[in-house]
Amino acid sequence: MFNLEGSEEELPLFTLSHEALWSSRLHHPVYLAIGPKLLWLLPGKSATLPLRRSSALGPEFGLGLTTEIQWIINDRFILAFGVERWRGTDTMKLHGFEVTSTLSIALK
């Protein structure tokens, strides 16, 4: 949820994103991954389906940068910790900072 500056109203944000990460081995089994992120941001009126568009802000594209530390536990598991910084390209109102942790499991 986002708050518009000067308003107490919370604004849910529907996003579709794509990111491409390039990995570099630091010391096996630890890798550093970094890459760009492309987002489509759609502010809504409430966090329910079907999504109703916000009248205050329209849809816009966003760009970001992702950095991750990945640890290969074994052949089936990878643990990752990441930081992302993104912002919308049309206005200065939509921007964010995310901290993530991920456990990936290979389905064999």
**28 contacts 44 by C-beta, under 8 angstroms:** no
CATH dotted code for 10-105: 2.40.160.20
First to last CA, the chain: 37
**90 contacts 60 by C-beta, under 8 angstroms:** yes
What is the domain partition of the chain in residue ranges? 10-105
Beta bridge partners of 101: 81
Q: Cα separation of 86 and 41, whole Å?
A: 11
pLDDT by position in tens, the chain (length 108): 566 666 666 778 888 999 999 999 999 999 999 999 999 988 887 777 787 787 777 788 999 999 999 999 999 999 999 999 999 888 877 888 999 999 999 998
Q: Which pLDDT score, from 0 to 100, does residue 6 have?
A: 61
Backbone phi, then psi, for 92, in 5-degree steps? -95, 10
